[in-house]
Structure 1
Amino acid sequence: MLLLLGRCRSRPKRAPIESLESHPLDGIINDAAVKAGDWLQQASRGQTLEVAVFNYRKRYGRAPPPAFDIWYNYATQRSSLVIDDYDNMYEDLRPFWGLSPVEIRRRTHEIISDSYNDAARIMIRGGHTNTGANFKPTHRWMVDGFAHMMTDFLKFIPDMDIALNLNDEPRVAVPYGKMKRLLKAAESSSDPTGKVKKHQWDSNRDKQWMRAENAVASRPFGHKPRLNSFTAATAACPPSSPSRRNFLWDASPLCLSCAAPHSQGVFLSNWSLAASPCHQPDLRNLHGFYLSPAAFRTSTELLPIFSQSKAGGFADILYPSPWNYIDKVLYAPTTDKHPDPPFAEKQNSLFWRGATSEGVSRFGTWKGMARQRLIHLTSNSSTSTSLFTPTTPMLLPDPHHESQYTYTLPPPPRNPRQPHPKHLLHFQAHWQHRYLLDTDGAGFSGRFLPFLQSHSLPLRSGIFRTWYDHRLTAWAHFVPIDIRLHGLWSTLAYFTGTVGEKGARTLRGRVGMEKRIKRGEEIAERGRSWAGKVVRKEDMEVYLFRLLLEWGRLTDDGREGLGFELEGGEKVDEKGGSGEGDKKAKGD
């Protein structure tokens, strides 16, 4: 557990390195707010079924899957704001259009044929589900949670088998050349003007899926635990990318050029790009998943496995995690012992607690793992000089020109505390702090959504991405921190209103401090409000419902020409408007 008090002394020990006329975060945060608004506008244009069908065809190059009208009603009845933009889902599914339905089903059965593969079988037949027992009992919550998430729409899902990843780590790392061929094959199936020929699932779908007792045990995953996985993980990168061309064996220097493509100064400015390992060869030594993964059972073939999160370059199919759906960890403040006070009334502190769960330490690999580096960085901020504990200049108001900002090498923070309580802290104790740092472990962090729902400001660092990342905008709904942690002090200084010693004594300095603290509160409240609109349990259901309809079509022998179409076609203009009412769905 780590506790950092907000303000720090800012007297530089060395000469200024660089001066700026304005703080980069001012522009980054303003742009993020606009971006968040633009995303919502384009994601929610489908105000009628007719418009939603039109937008689907235009966006994804084919008709929606059967039962799209039922999905649309389900989504709107649950006040889903996201109707049109499921781009991350279609990126996950697009390569599978390069495989035949027979081959997808065969590969599914390969995965679920042997418990060695660490995957559970979710079998859907006739609107009912059977999860079986061929998996680790410790993962019962995941399997049951997945089934529970389908309860209200299961009767609309066609017969299918689903291979559910039971490991925290992603499983499918398809090499660049092989993935390129799959995507090229998938292109031929896209036709935004194509006529729907079939509106119903094949009547013999249950016969298309192999019976469990007839499956031949197979082990399609390689098993290389506790070995550096970075080379395998970056197989999906282009051959010309830095991570494919360069091998950074020396973990000592901080590779600022590796972070530059997704950064502005020391600040992470592009959260999506930061997930890609292709331009970051130094990630080999910066996370336990790469350094020494606990399981790392992966395949270089495109295997259809559903996972809760994945790192950049992996081709797993993401779905909403049961961890959040069944409230394994939840936001539940109380008025007495664990209240969540308004932002201004919280302790002006950054708080983190967690376990060393990224990977298995061998031969000193723990020194490069993100959570251990975090502890070491905050414990040795005045002496750290290596990549493991990066000390880079902190951006603070210039002591001589208060309207400018200067990068200076920082002294240690004032009064840092790292208490080691004799008993476990209650999870709800987080809410007393203004700033909550979240770092992922062997997979995604299940604590981020509760953080987002609180009145505190979440700071998020990690390499794993989930189903909801596409819906959140960094710097508008949360604060991103680079996995190298070199921008942590500058980011904290910005939001805590840290100023130079001279500036702190001036009226302008005090007003500046209050303005920055207010900015943090605005992001915290915007993120909290947004979480209550797009990452609710209802939104998890809506996402999974649509995902399984898409998967149903992909695995159907008659998938070419199979889809949903309104009676009489869709007569909608380019803006999504129509002079006619909703059409009746064919196949009702």
Structure 2
Amino acid sequence: MSTRPMLTRVPSDSPWTVSNQHRFSQRRWRPLLMFTLLACSTVAIFTVGLPVGVPISTFTFTSSSKVTSDHPSALSYSTHPITRMMKEAEERFQAKIDRQSKTLSEAIEEYKHRYGMPPPKGFDKWWEFATKNNVVLVDEYDTLMRDLAPFYALRGQKDLGDYADEDEDPSRPGSGLDHQGWALGGGHEMRRRISEVAGVASIDMVQIRKGNLSTVSISKDGFVDDEVSARAKGLKAMLGSSAANLPDIDFPVNAKAEGRVIIPWDRWTVAGQGGMTGEKIGLGMGNRSYIEDSAPHDTKDTLHPLADFHPDWRGAGNVWDKWRRTCPPISTARKSYASIRSAIVEGTSPSHHHLLMGGTSDATVPPPFAFAPSTSFDTVSFCEQPHLHYTQGHFFSDWRTLDDLYPVLSPARAKGFGDIKIPSHYYYGSTQAYTYGWDKVKQKVHSVDLGEVAWGDLTDVGPDGQGGVDDRDLVIDPNFDGHNNTSNPPRNRKTGKESKRNKIFWRGATTGGGNSPPGFAALYQRHRAVRMADWDAEGDVEVWVPSTNPIANVSSISVSSSGTPHSPTNVDAPLKAHKIPIAALNKALMDVAFVKASNANQYPGGLKKLKEEHRFADGVSLGNHWQYKYLLDLDGMSYSGRFMSFLASDSVPVKSTVYEEFFSDWIEPWLHYIPLSSSYEEIYNIFGYFSGIPAEVVEEVYGDAVDPETGAPLFPPGTKIPAIPGAPDGDERLQHIAQAGKKWKNTIARKVDMESYVYRLALEWARLNAVDRESMTIKV
């Protein structure tokens, strides 16, 4: 048993609930879904400083008290959770920028402080590369080290000559460690496992030999992706700047989007606080150590464990059954064979929803007003709420997972998986579908995409300057596609200026999960989002906005000379609720639809039922997205490959994901993008904060309203019904996020930053593969 400490593993999380207020047309599919859940339950269980990524604020942040458990009626604009989270995000990011090492010696000391050991050999050349290319976050590689830490626990096999008894530190007999604290024979074992996993279908190899790079596909078991995958080719391209400085090493790359490695809980042991060998990898990073299998992985007379590995489940298991074994034995997921409670039923509890959002258990907080502080990767536990696994497609992947510690490089990973993250080839390469500014004709990337649209003015501005949104004030050319036709972008008919549309936009295919076990596609993340945004959805939702509008303060209404009702502006007015039909909101601010039905036979009821229950629209080019202020970003089979392009635009990504990517420690939610829970419910109050309530919605809901004191019509005939504004500087704040995200993409997530990341990964990888790890450690 190894004594090498492992990083703390937090249970996975990904919520989906539906509040009592609105059920998004579930009546159409709930009976079939409940039947499917019950029928399948027996199967299913199983540069530096402010300019870097932070535009200078043009508005003042205000401090606030703790608001996570306050009812919105007790809040105002200054104490609104979004106001607070934006302030805290900017402060966190600026502090991170300020503390980065300025010299090589500082970087070495910071490395030793964080990870309890000297950096790998070649760190000085990496530092040269990083500083020459103005890499900003030179110290922020914790996510990489968390991925690699378990592999330091691997120990070789003495009977195969990986090490001898005399190699062991005499002061720690039986420890399996040498005098430097490295696991004996770890390099041999690492290379053995790389060789084994390279024979698995959809695992490709990137090799370095004498500084030269190549890609290899060894054995693919007859699957359609026999060719070397785009992900392997992408890693090869990213390693191009560093290969000449690296030894001969191999990198197994996952050709699939889904994660491949799941290691059960009982393969880990708990050591003392900080680990028994805290002076090495893991100092301050957790106290769990990997336990190697007592059976040998290979002998001269037997095949290695993956020799007869089947790449798909073939009805002999599923991801969830493997994944739940990563949870502690006392967890709900382990104690119960299956959870057949539907997420739909469980989700009717507001307090339950708020816990899913990472907040408190105060049941007085309306679910649609509980905002996610970050993505779902960082919040709720599937281990304690296992019924929620039905709502995420990655638990239904058709690809069999590896349940031992194999080194596999993947572009993203969900909680509980053991894949090692690398930058996505979609982010590094240049394609029409995934790259902002890509000019296919000239084969170059422009700094500004041909389809980009100026932010523009608020489209519905009252006589006192207060503004809401009403896209009816925009002139829209239906032929504008941001690609072939960019000559006539949306314009404000009052000012004639270009203006992005105040809508939440998404287009995509029905991808989201496999079919193992079958029957659960209705609950996958994309399907839920499209149904929620349906223009015929049933029920109401409460939208809370500052009461700087006539609807919330009917007694203070006056009428301007133009005949438009208005009220005095109150920059810190209390929040007031507006109960609005979900269909009215969706028509005004949602444009969400599928464009392609992939594997429609996997949906209960087939293609006919899929199209009955979801909106479908024509496909759009990537450039078409830039005419919208809000860009919804949703997981597919794995992470979303469009996120970087969204960040590079002048629009705001609203991202919901259960995945962690290589840049997760580099980016700040609520500064560079808006995080969205996996329930999606709070999206209406996010829109309300930044953009208010559109005039067309106000007209539908309050058009016949009367003043309760006088009984007179609130809006006499001929009166223009205004939009209800959100935060006093809401549109300005929204644009601030768009600008911050764009600057972050252009300073911290450049191609060269991805090259820096894989360069650091390669140095660590070389040490892990070394027979003598001390020789692959920098001498300081």
TM-score tier after normalising by the smaller chain length? 0.7 to 0.9
The secondary structure found in structure 2 opposite 1:190 is: coil
Question: In 2, Cα distance between the equivalents of 1:92 and 1:71?
Answer: 20
Alignment of 1:487 onto 2:682: yes
Q: Which residue of 1 aligns with 2:393?
A: 288
Aligned twin of 1:472: 667
Q: Do structure 1's residue 456 and structure 2's residue 651 form an aligned pair?
A: yes
C-alpha displacement of 1:106: 1.2
Partner SS, residue 121 of structure 1: strand
C-alpha contact 2:357 2:380 (8 A) present in aligned 1: no
Q: Decide whether aligned partners of structure 1 residues 483 and 41 sit closer, same or farther in structure 2, where only a CA change above 3 A counts.
A: same
CA drift of 1:89 comes to: 0.5
Most deviating of 240-249 and 425-434 = 240-249
Q: How far, CA to CA, are the matches of 2:109 and 2:524 in structure 1?
A: 47
Match of 1:163 in 2: 252
Partner of 1:404: 574
Ranges in structure 1 where 5+ consecutive residues have no aligned partner: 1-9, 11-16, 195-209, 385-390, 567-588
How far apart in 1 are the matches of 2:631 and 2:145? 32
Residue 692 of structure 2 contacts residue 725 of structure 2 at CA under 8 Å; is this kept in 1? no
**Deviation string for 1:383-416 (max 9, x for gaps)?**
26xxxxxx76443446646832255653123435
Shift of 1:531: 1.3
Task: Work out whether residues 312 and 398 of structure 2, in 8 Å CA contact, stay in contact via their aligned partners in 1.
Answer: no
The alpha-carbon distance between structure 1 residues 104 and 409, as it changes in their structure 2 partners (threshold 3 A), is farther
Letter of the 1:413 counterpart: A
Output the CA distance in 1 between the equivalents of 2:451 and 2:650.
13
Please give the secondary structure, in 2, of the residue aligned with 1:314: coil
Identify which of structures 1 and 2 has the higher relative contact order when contacts are C-alpha pairs closer than 8 Å and 6+ apart.
Answer: 1
Relative distance call for 1:225 and 1:427 in structure 2 (3 A) is: farther
Q: What residue in structure 1 maps to residue 340 of structure 2? A: 249
Cα offsets for 1:21-69 (capped at 9, x unmatched): 2322111221111122122223x2x111111111111111000000110
**Counterpart residue number, 1:20:** 74
Q: CA–CA distance in 2 between the matches of 1:52 and 1:72?
A: 8
**Given that residues 20 and 406 in structure 1 are in contact (C-alpha distance below 8 angstroms), is that contact kept between their aligned partners in structure 2?**
no
Alignment of 1:92 with 2:306, yes or no, is no
Pair 1:556–1:268, CA change in 2 (3 A)? same
Superposed counterparts of 1:12-411, under 5 Å: 19-22=73-76, 23-42=80-99, 44=100, 46-99=101-154, 100-112=186-198, 114=199, 116-134=200-218, 136-137=225-226, 139-180=228-269, 188=277, 190-191=279-280, 218-219=307-308, 223-224=312-313, 229-245=319-335, 247-251=338-342, 252-253=344-345, 254=347, 256=350, 257=352, 260=355, 262-264=357-359, 265-271=369-375, 272-274=377-379, 277-290=382-395, 292-295=396-399, 297-328=400-431, 329-332=434-437, 338-342=451-455, 344=457, 345-360=499-514, 364-379=519-534, 382-383=537-538, 393-397=542-546, 400=552, 403-406=573-576, 409-411=579-581
Q: Which moved more, 1:543-552 or 1:147-156?
A: 147-156
Q: Distance in 2 between matches of 1:552 and 1:514?
A: 54
Question: Is residue 477–residue 524 contact of structure 1 (8 Å, CA) maintained in 2?
Answer: yes
Q: Distance in 2 between matches of 1:313 and 1:496?
A: 37
Structure 2 CA distance, aligned partners of 1:347 and 1:532? 24
Provide, for residues 224-277 of structure 1, a one-character-per-residue CA deviation record: whole Å limited to 9, x for no partner.
378753342233233344544565423222165265164345211243523753
Match of 1:443 among 638, 651, 656: 638
Give how far 1:562 is off: 4.2
Q: SS state of the match for residue 436, structure 2?
A: coil
Amino acid aligned to 2:144: M
Q: Name the aligned partner's letter for residue 619 of structure 2.
A: L
Q: 1:221 to 1:156 in 2, by over 3 A?
A: farther
Quote the offset at 1:20 in angstroms: 2.7
Equivalence for 1:430: 625
Task: Indicate how the Cα distance of structure 1 residues 493 and 230 shifts in structure 2: closer, same or farther if over 3 A, else same.
Answer: farther
Q: Which amino acid aligns with 1:148?
A: A
**Equivalent in the alignment of 1:533:** 747
Shift of 1:379: 1.1
Q: Which amino acid aligns with 2:574?
A: Q
Question: What is the identity, as a one-letter code, of the residue corresponding to 1:107?
Answer: R
Residue 510 of structure 1, CA deviation: 6.5
Classify 1:400/1:241 alpha carbon distance in 2 versus 1 (closer, same or farther; 3 Å).
farther
> Cα 1:228–1:373, aligned 2, differ >3 Å: closer, same or farther?
farther
How far apart, in 2, do the equivalents of 1:395 and 1:234 lie?
Answer: 38
Q: Is the 8 A contact 1:258 1:281 kept in 2?
A: no
Q: Is the 8 A contact 2:231 2:254 kept in 1?
A: no
Q: Counterpart amino acid of 2:514?
A: V
Q: Shift in Å at residue 179 of structure 1? A: 3.0
Structure number with larger C-alpha Rg = 2
- Relative to the length of structure 1, the TM-score reads 0.80
Change (3 A) 1:103 1:474: same
For residue 387 of structure 1, what is the aligned residue in structure 2? none
CA shift for structure 1 position 374: 0.9
1:181-216, Cα deviation, whole Å (9 max, x unpaired): 699997527349x9xxxxxxxxxxxxxxx9xxx999
Q: For residue 159 of structure 1, report the CA deviation from its aligned partner.
A: 1.3
Q: Which moved more, 1:417-426 or 1:232-241?
A: 417-426
Secondary structure of the corresponding residue to residue 533 of structure 2: helix
Cα separation, 2, equivalents of 1:125 and 1:431: 44
Q: Are the equivalent residues in 1 in contact too, given 2:412–2:639 (CA < 8 A)?
A: yes
For structure 2, the residue ranges without an aligned partner over 5 or more in a row are 1-20, 22-70, 155-185, 284-298, 360-368, 440-447, 458-498, 554-569, 596-615, 706-713
Q: 1:541 to 1:259 in 2, by over 3 A?
A: farther
> Does the Cα contact within 8 Å between 1:498 and 1:513 map onto a contact in 2?
no
**CA pair 229-133 structure 1, distance change in 2 beyond 3 A:** closer
AA of the residue aligned to 1:28: M
- Residue 347 of structure 1 aligns with an amino acid whose one-letter code is R
For 2:632 and 2:196, how far apart are their aligned partners in 1? Answer: 40
Give the TM-score, by structure 2 length: 0.61
Q: Distance in 1 between matches of 2:636 and 2:578?
A: 32
Structure 1 residue 522 displacement after superposition: 0.6
- SS of the residue 1:64 aligns to: coil
Which structure has more helix as a fraction of its residues?
1
The CA distance in 2 between the partners of 1:280 and 1:366, in whole Å, is 20
CA shift in 2, pair 1:52/1:151, >3 Å: same
Aligned twin of 2:760: 546
How far apart are residue 139 of structure 1 and its match?
4.8
Conserved 8 A contact 1:234-1:278: yes
Deviation of residue 380 (structure 1)?
Answer: 6.0
CA distance in structure 2 between the partners assigned to 1:152 and 1:442 by the alignment: 30
Q: Give the CA RMSD over aligned residues.
A: 3.5
Describe the shift of the 1:21–1:275 C-alpha distance in structure 2 as closer, same or farther (beyond 3 A).
closer
- Count of aligned pairs: 520
